[in-house]
Every structure is written in structure tokens, then in C-alpha cells.
Chains A and B, each alone.
Chain A
Amino acid sequence: MAERASILSRTIATPVILGLLLTAIALLALLMGSGPFNQTIIDIFIRVILVVGLYIFIGNSGVISFGHIGFTCLGAYMTAWLTIPPPMKKMALPGLPGFVLEAKLPFWVGVPAAAIFAALIAFFFGKILMRLSGIAASIATFAMLALINQIYSNWEDVTGATSSVVGIPINRSIWPYFVATLVAVAIGYAYSISRSGLALRAARDEATAAAASGVDIPKERLRAFVISAFVMGGGGALYAHSVGVVTPDTFYLGLTFISLSMLVVGGMGSLSGAVIGVVLLSTIIQILRLFEKGVALGDTVLTIPNGVQEIAIGVIMIVILMRRPAGIIGNREVGWKGLRKA
């Protein structure tokens, strides 16, 4: 019997190709060299991080979570608490504990701290939520999102309630975002080939049989939940540093909808689907935004009404779900010789 090649060597092409795609996008930004375009690329990187975070839990477990953007909120505020200059914090957020008020940490400390904080909170939520399955689990994650949103919208002297928290140090270089995106893809890949990832995909296909195979389903789900929250929290922190301002409603239904759409369009069951879904939809959104502002075609300026962008995303999602219910990439991953089974 021939010795089978290791999982790593059979699948490593996927993260390498996705990494190359992301590198190409970064180089594109470098070539264009303009400020606004840089910001666009940074937005794409952050979305890739968020959607990969969603993939880790949703893709492997098959449980749709509406709550993950809550972890993004936790991460964004955590890095705000740690990195805003102390004088500003004392004015705007006087309720923070003393040592946080005095802290002035660099953003490369704030982001990992935010990710760890989100993972910690996910652990406590997950202890309860991961016992649920199917639609009950999805509704419960939605309740979690609402809960986090309500707390952050009302805790005046710690979160500034619904008003914007400003003064978060802004980082406009694309490189930290690029590196973080590569790290997120690496985490997503590592989880998907891990023991836990395999066990969770088995439970997604057939929960009863997975239990009969010795799989502790709530435990494996909890692992994926915490790891994905880590990525979502880190993504939220990076978002905060990309624009310098956060409000609770930035991390609510709108962002939940768009990030879930990207995952579904690309293909829920694959890491490649997550990354490619973002790149594709982001490109379409950018083009539509351009047209909303007006594009000169010869003598006439072509303008489309505001809101077309959101409508278009909705329509694209419905069409893709009708044509390819498993998304563009489906349950497969990119490899050197085209697509292979995930």
C-alpha cells in the first residue's frame, strides 16, 4: 500500500494561491499610489479578514451565525480603549478603569489584544450557545449581536453610547492590513485542515453519525467559535485603525448583511470561496460607487441613483443562490490544477 501524502502537502496550494491573490491586490495599490485607492484596498483586506472569520465557524460547522459582527464591535472598541491618547479618553470615556485610562498602547498591541478579548467573550457566550443547533443556534447568535449592540449603545461613560468614539490612531499604510489578512487566511486554512475542522465538517453533514464516531460536537463548535471570534475581533480593531472612528451601529445589521453575503456568494463551505467572494463583491461595489458619483463617458456624465449599490448586491446574491446554491466556488478549494474538493 502506497503511503498517502500528508494533508499539508496535498492542500497547501490553497493558502499559497490565496496569498498570491492578496499580494497582487496589494501591489495594485502600490502601483496606483493614490490615497483614496489605498483606502479601498484596505477596506477589501478588512472584509477578507471578517469573511474568513465567518468562514471558520459557519463554513465548517454549517451553523449560520448572525452574531459574529458583535465580536468585530468588541474588537474595535477594545483597541479604541487601549490606543486613544489618555487626555481624550478621560474626557470621552471617563468610566474606563484607571489603568486603561492611563494606557497609550501602540496599534500593534491594540489589535492582538482586541482579538484576544473577542475570543474570550466568545468563549463565554459559546459555552451556552454551542449546545444549540440549526435555526435555534442562529437565532441565539442574533440575540447575542443585539445584546452586544445594546450594551455598547447605552454604556455612556465606557463606550460613549451611540455617539462616535474618536481619536483612534489612524494607520494609512496598507502593509499592516495586508499582513493581518495573510495571518487570517493562514488561521482559516490551519483550522480547516485541523482535527477539529474535520470533525466539525463531519458534524455539519451528519451530526448523529459524528457523535457515534466519538466527536464531541459542542466542544468542537466552541473551538471554531472562539477562533473565528479572534479573527473577527482583530478585523474590528483594524477597521477602527483604518478610519479612526467607531460607533456601535457600524457593527450591526448592515455589516452583518454584507459580510454574510460575501461568504454566501463565494461559497460558504470553502476558504477560497470566502476570499474570492469578498474580492468579487468588493470590486462590484467599487464600480457601482464610482457610477453613483458619476462617470464621464465622452460628453455625458453617467450617474446611477444612490442605493443602487445595495440593491445590486441583494440581486446578485439572490441570483447566485438560485443558480449555484453552494456559491461560486462551492464546496471546493483552489489548487494549482484548478478547483479541488474542499
Chain B
Amino acid sequence: MAQTLAADMVSVAFEGLRALSDVTLEIPAGRVTGLIGPNGAGKTTCVNVLTGFQKPSMGRVLLDGQDIGGLPAHRVRQAGIARTFQSGRLFADLTVHENLEVTGVGLGLSRREASRKADALLDWIGIAPLSERLAGGLPYTDERRVAIGRALMLEPAFLLLDEPAAGMSAEEADDLSRLIHRIALEVKCGVLLIEHNIGLVLKTCHSIYVLDSGEIIEFGTPDAIKASEKVRHAYMGTQTDAEGEIL
């Protein structure tokens, strides 16, 4: 299994707007890496670059040192880099079980094998009772967990989670934190966690990158990030005091 996924001096420009400037970051296997930053900082753009949905204007995406920057999204997934979406994006007309099965099939399994893996994974995550429900009608928090399940099929080397706790209660966020730890420990995934829930990030991650206006302004352990003057500044500058206080 691959050991590191990295962005190397990645820049992305949208018609003049620079969404990412010379971003360098590394996601090691078996650990949880955080990526935080105010709205519009470029976090999702970063995930898009790492997963083949956005070509970098400059720079490279490296999987164990190999440039995968030009691969289309489905090939990136086949190479073992999985993601979830900020907006869920489940296959609404398919059942929960089929949502997971699709990934198995996309990665080359027969339907029978994919179906078996999907059942095992639904069980592992603890959402087996949802199997036959249509994904379109799920409540928000279940939707998130199904999305993680779909991404986890066949144990990817890396899992990038784009705001998986959005809209969750404190208790649900705790459950999610535990699940993410199990994913890093038991599946040995390198996890990238993007979240606005800073408490969750500080509790869950081994190390954290801070992105502001497309640039990495800080990197360190949760304690170091908590203490960082720069980070405090970035958040105070663009967001409400309430969120500044969480830090």
C-alpha cells in the first residue's frame, strides 16, 4: 500500500482568481492529517487537485513520489485515493448497499464480490440496518456515514474527507472522531480531515495544516496550532468571534 500522498508546490487559478498558491502538504499513511481554514480558503480545491477533479495550473501531485497530476478522477480512485464530498453526493436512486457496491464494481470486482464487501463494510461502520434504504431519503448524519463507507470500499490507501461533520451534534461528531481513528488504525489509511468544527480537528488529528487565501500559513501538532498567533489572526480576520474562541 502507498505510504504518502503529497501536493508539491501546487497552484490553481480560476480565471485570474488564485485559489491555491504554491501549496505543499503531505498525507502520511496510518495517520490523520487535518486541513483547516476559513470559508473560501481553498480546502475543497485542494482535495479536488489531490483526487484528479482539478488539474493543477502548476505543481505536482505525488503518490509515493510518482506524479499522478494528470490522471482522471476514476483512475486516481483506482490508484487508492478516495474522497467524500462536502455536499454528500450519494446515488439517490440506489440503495445504501448499492451505493457501496458501485465502488466495488468501479474498482473491478464482480457484483457478487462487491456485494459481499459492501455488506462487511456496512457492518464494520455500524450502518448495516440501513442497507436496503434508498440513499436519497437518508437523514444528514447517516448520509455522511454512507459516503464514508462508499469511499472506504476495498480499503483505499488514502481517504480525504471534506467536512464530514457538517450539521452533526456534538455526540455524533464524537462518534465520527472514533470512526476516523479506527479508519487510520485498522484500515491503515492516510486520512485528510477537512472540518470547520475545530474541536473535532484538534481532537482527531495527529498534525494539522492551516490554509488561508490559498496559502499554507501554518503546520503543526494540534497543540502548536492552538497556540499559533498566525492561525488566530487568520480566523479572527474572516470569521465570527465565536469561532475564534474555539481555538
> Which residues of A line the B interface, CB within 8 A?
1, 4, 6-7, 193-195, 198-199, 201-202, 204-206, 208-217, 269, 331, 341-342
How many angstroms between the C-alpha atoms of A213 and B123 in the bound complex? 20
> Which A residues are in CB contact (< 8 Å) with B120?
1
Binds A, one of B32-40, B74-82, B234-242: B74-82
Distance in Å from the Cβ of A324 to the closest Cβ of chain B? 16
Q: Which residues of B from 107 to 136 have beta carbons under 8 Å from A?
A: 107-112, 114-116, 119-120, 123, 128, 134
How many angstroms between the C-alpha atoms of A199 and B172 in the bound complex? 31
Distance in Å from the Cβ of B110 to the closest Cβ of chain A? 7
Known contacts A7-B112, A211-B72; 19 additional CB pairs below 8 A are: A1-B119, A1-B128, A4-B97, A6-B112, A195-B114, A201-B91, A201-B94, A202-B98, A208-B85, A209-B89, A210-B102, A211-B73, A212-B53, A212-B74, A212-B151, A213-B77, A214-B108, A216-B106, A269-B93
How many angstroms between the C-alpha atoms of A213 and B53 in the bound complex? 12
A206-B90 in contact (CB<8A)? yes
Distance in Å from the Cβ of B166 to the closest Cβ of chain A? 17
How many angstroms between the C-alpha atoms of A144 and B209 in the bound complex? 51
Check B83 for interface membership: any CB of A closer than 8 A: yes
Q: Contact string, B25-57, partner A, CB cutoff 8 A, digits 1/0?
A: 000000000000000000000000001010000
Given known contacts A198-B105, A199-B106, A202-B94, A208 and B111 CB-to-CB distance under 8 angstroms: no
> Which residues of B line the A interface, CB within 8 A?
51, 53, 72-74, 77-78, 82-83, 85, 89-95, 97-99, 101-103, 105-112, 114-116, 119-120, 123, 128, 134, 150-151, 153
Please tell me which one of the listed residues B73, B83, B98, B123 contacts residue A198 in the complex, with CB atoms under 8 A apart.
B98
B92-A4 in contact (CB<8A)? no
> Which A residues are in CB contact (< 8 Å) with B128?
1
Jot down 7 A-B pairs with beta carbons below 8 A, ordered by A. Answer: A7-B111, A195-B111, A198-B102, A205-B93, A214-B77, A214-B107, A215-B74
A212-B98 in contact (CB<8A)? no
How many angstroms between the C-alpha atoms of A172 and B102 in the bound complex? 45
**Residue of A201, A202, A214 with most partner-chain B CB within 10 A:** A214
User: Which label, helix, strand, loop or mixed, suits the secondary structure of the B interface?
Assistant: helix
Chain A: CB-nearest residue to B123 = A1
Please tell me which one of the listed residues B91, B95, B110 contacts residue A341 in the complex, with CB atoms under 8 A apart.
B95
How many angstroms between the C-alpha atoms of A331 and B115 in the bound complex? 21
Distance in Å from the Cβ of A262 to the closest Cβ of chain B? 22
Please tell me which one of the listed residues B90, B99, B103, B134 contacts residue A214 in the complex, with CB atoms under 8 A apart.
B103
Chain B: CB-nearest residue to A196 = B105
> Which A residues are in CB contact (< 8 Å) with B119?
1, 4
B85-A212 in contact (CB<8A)? yes
A-B pair number, CB within 8 angstroms: 99
Chain A: CB-nearest residue to B78 = A214
Given known contacts A193-B111, A217-B74, A209 and B91 CB-to-CB distance under 8 angstroms: yes
> Which A residues are in CB contact (< 8 Å) with B82?
212
How many angstroms between the C-alpha atoms of A284 and B61 in the bound complex? 60
> Which B residues are in CB contact (< 8 Å) with A193?
111
> Which B residues are in CB contact (< 8 Å) with A214?
74, 77-78, 103, 106-108
How many angstroms between the C-alpha atoms of A269 and B94 in the bound complex? 12
> Which B residues are in CB contact (< 8 Å) with A217?
74
A212-B105 in contact (CB<8A)? no
Please tell me which one of the listed residues B99, B110, B123 contacts residue A195 in the complex, with CB atoms under 8 A apart.
B110
Given known contacts A4-B115, A7-B115, A199 and B105 CB-to-CB distance under 8 angstroms: yes
> Which B residues are in CB contact (< 8 Å) with A4?
97, 115-116, 119
Distance in Å from the Cβ of B40 to the closest Cβ of chain A? 20
Distance in Å from the Cβ of B241 to the closest Cβ of chain A? 36
How many angstroms between the C-alpha atoms of A1 and B126 in the bound complex? 12
How many angstroms between the C-alpha atoms of A11 and B107 in the bound complex? 24
Chain A: CB-nearest residue to B153 = A213
Distance in Å from the Cβ of B128 to the closest Cβ of chain A? 7
A212-B77 in contact (CB<8A)? yes
B53-A208 in contact (CB<8A)? yes
Chain A: CB-nearest residue to B134 = A341
> Which A residues are in CB contact (< 8 Å) with B105?
195, 198-199, 215
Chain B: CB-nearest residue to A199 = B105
How many angstroms between the C-alpha atoms of A331 and B85 in the bound complex? 26
> Which B residues are in CB contact (< 8 Å) with A204?
93
> Which B residues are in CB contact (< 8 Å) with A269?
93
Distance in Å from the Cβ of A200 to the closest Cβ of chain B? 10
> Which B residues are in CB contact (< 8 Å) with A6?
112
Please tell me which one of the listed residues A199, A205, A212 contacts residue B92 in the complex, with CB atoms under 8 A apart.
A205
> Which A residues are in CB contact (< 8 Å) with B77?
211-214
Please tell me which one of the listed residues B85, B107, B111, B112 contacts residue A209 in the complex, with CB atoms under 8 A apart.
B85
B74-A206 in contact (CB<8A)? no
How many angstroms between the C-alpha atoms of A209 and B85 in the bound complex? 8
How many angstroms between the C-alpha atoms of A205 and B95 in the bound complex? 12
B83-A210 in contact (CB<8A)? no
How many angstroms between the C-alpha atoms of A193 and B116 in the bound complex? 16
Chain B: CB-nearest residue to A269 = B93
B111-A199 in contact (CB<8A)? no
B74-A211 in contact (CB<8A)? yes
